[in-house]
């Protein structure tokens, strides 16, 4: 028994090593960098970062972008996951493939793709004018709407896949049972399907939210440098301002924000169960 257990422990070793070397160690270095001043350990970096109104603007913008992205993905992804779970056979395989394939394309390529689609004479504008919804070209590039369209599209699979995995495990007879007990369609949805899909919602929301808070390429390409979020701020600090302390502090703040939201989403979902 002991032998089995120790050989099991051996199986975890590579993952443990990789996590330590590639994840825990850099995190410690990041934390150390944020607490290091010219004369030794200090909290001055944090005080100066958190004391500036500009930093709070950046934090606010990051949270706003992540929240909106998560909402859009949830609104689009939730019904999609249910539809996907109800399909069968070839149709289901095709849909899942359509969802997975874009993940194999680089984020940069997809973000560039959106800059082409969204520009003044891009497909989106031609389409809008073609069907008569607008008379002239609508400005999408370098607007928050354009950014939201692009970023939601790119992160949508991360919402749909965990949701789909959970929803398809829901026994369809539970909905049958609920409806024979007198539950109308909305009651069945609210009291049975929503609570049972909550683990998927929590997983999808956590994934998309942390991805969106950490997104660098997409806001940069679709909004330009004027739109400063925490990841953009980190890059600017390291690359242009040569201020590693400020970058490290922003990194720690970003990490804490993501962790906080991921931890909170599980909690907040509980009353819905």
Partner 1 sequence: MAYLAVERVSKRFRSTVVLEELSLQVARGEFVSLLGPSGCGKTTLLRILAGLLAADTGSVALDGHDLGRLPPHRRNVSVVFQNYALFPHLTVAENVAFGPRARGRSGGDIARTVERLLALVQLPDMGDRRISALSGGQQQRVAMARALATEPDLILLDEPLSALDRKLRETMQVELRRLLRDLGMTAIFVTHDQEEALALSDRVAVMNAGRIEQLDTSEAVYARPATPFVLDFVGQSTVLHGTVGASDGRALTIDTALGPVHASGPFARGSRVMLAVRPEHMQPGAAADDSWTSVTTPVAGQTFLGRICLLYCSGGPADRIIVEVPAQVAASLSAGGSATVSWRIADALVFPAP
Q: Is residue 195 close enough to count as binding partner 1 by CB under 8 A?
A: yes
Binding mask 153-172 for partner 1 (x = CB under 8 A): ------------------x-
Among 187, 241, 259, 260, the residue binding partner 1 under the rule CB under 8 A is 187
Place of tokens 């859009």: 72
Q: Write out the binding residues for partner 1, residues 13-42 only, by CB under 8 A.
A: none
Gap between the Cα atoms of 245 and 46, Å rounded: 9
Closest CA to 193 of 87, 74, 78: 78
Task: Point out which span in 69-77, 124-132, 178-186, 203-211 binds partner 1 (CB under 8 A).
Answer: 178-186
Place of tokens 């939601």: 152
Tokens of 209: 């939210």
Alpha helices in the chain (DSSP H): 2-19, 25-34, 44-50, 53-86, 89-100, 107-118, 123-130, 144-167, 172-180, 185-188, 194-213, 217-223, 230-239, 244-268
Q: Which C-beta is closer to partner 1: that of 79 or that of 195?
A: 195
Q: Write out the binding residues for partner 1, residues 234-253 only, by CB under 8 A.
A: none
Gap between the Cα atoms of 58 and 94, Å rounded: 40
Task: Point out which span in 86-94, 101-109, 180-188, 215-223 binds partner 1 (CB under 8 A).
Answer: 180-188
Question: Minimal distance in Å, beta carbon 91 to partner 1?
Answer: 17
Q: Is residue 268 close enough to count as binding partner 1 by CB under 8 A?
A: no
Task: Point out which span in 14-22, 106-114, 184-192, 238-246 binds partner 1 (CB under 8 A).
Answer: 184-192
């Amino acid at each position: 028994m002991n032998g089995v257990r120790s050989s099991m422990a051996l199986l975890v070793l590579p993952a443990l090593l990789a996590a330590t070397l590639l994840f825990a160690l850099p995190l410690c270095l990041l934390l150390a960098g944020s607490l290091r001043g010219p004369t030794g350990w200090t909290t001055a970096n944090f005080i100066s970062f958190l004391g500036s109104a500009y930093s709070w603007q950046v934090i606010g913008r990051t949270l706003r972008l992540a929240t909106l992205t998560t909402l859009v993905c949830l609104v689009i992804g939730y019904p999609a996951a249910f539809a996907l779970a109800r399909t069968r056979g070839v149709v289901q395989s095709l849909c899942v493939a359509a969802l997975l394939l874009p993940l194999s394309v680089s984020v940069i390529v997809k973000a560039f793709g959106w800059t082409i689609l969204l520009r003044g004479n891009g497909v989106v504008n031609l389409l809008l004018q073609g069907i008569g919804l607008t008379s002239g070209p609508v400005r999408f590039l370098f607007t928050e709407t354009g950014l939201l369209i692009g970023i939601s599209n790119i992160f949508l699979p991360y919402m749909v896949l965990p949701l789909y995995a959970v929803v398809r495990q829901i026994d369809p007879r539970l909905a049958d049972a609920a409806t024979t007990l007198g539950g109308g369609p909305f009651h069945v949805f609210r009291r049975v399907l929503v609570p049972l899909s909550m683990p998927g919602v929590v997983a999808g929301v956590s994934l998309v939210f942390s991805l969106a808070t950490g997104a660098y390429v997409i806001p940069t390409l679709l909004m330009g440098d004027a739109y400063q979020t925490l990841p953009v701020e980190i890059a600017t600090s390291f690359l242009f301002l040569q201020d590693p302390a400020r970058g490290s502090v922003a990194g720690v703040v970003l990490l804490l924000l993501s962790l906080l939201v991921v931890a909170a989403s599980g909690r907040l979902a509980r009353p819905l169960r």
